[in-house]
Structure 1
Amino acid sequence: MAAEISLIVNGEPRRVAFGSSIADLVAGIGLDPKKVAVEHNGEIAPRSTLADVSLSEGDVLEIVHFVGGG
């Protein structure tokens, strides 16, 4: 079994594989990384960096996705 780390995502505990990026997490919950805004440990993570930022034990993320409609 792969090593996992614990995070808080939108106020809920979550476990992800060690070495995952923010983009991996976003895609893993069924969202398009190009259509989300992410706060990572209190700082807005630029969308262009989501694949480059590795998650660490205890990170806190807030993920907001955009919904279109009329």
Structure 2
Amino acid sequence: MLINGEEKALGCSIALSELLTQLGYRTAFVAVELNGNIIKQTDFGSTTITDADKLEIVSFVGGG
């Protein structure tokens, strides 16, 4: 699979929310595009990711 342009191997399918947690993202502060479609945060737990997918993950950072 591709995550932000980098090849990663999952080995098995996984829930998007679990993958984000494993990668160190706080799910409340990210936007995710899966295969060209924006995924709602409420759907992170029910969205399954496989090795065939392409993810773009953007983190929100506060500042001033």
Q: Which amino acid aligns with 2:2?
A: I
Alignment RMSD (CA, Å)? 1.1
Give yes or no for contact 1:16–1:25 (8 Å, CA) kept in 2: no
The match for 1:31 is 25
TM-score normalized by structure 2? 0.90
Give yes or no for contact 2:11–2:51 (8 Å, CA) kept in 1: no
CA distance in 2, matches of 1:50, 1:62: 14
Matches within 5 A, 1:1-70: 7-70=1-64
Secondary structure of the residue that 2:8 maps to in structure 1?
strand
Fraction of identical pairs, as percent: 34
CA positional deviation for 1:69: 1.1
Flag structure 2 segments of 5+ consecutive residues without an equivalent: none
TM-score normalized by structure 1? 0.83
CA distance in 2, matches of 1:28, 1:17: 14
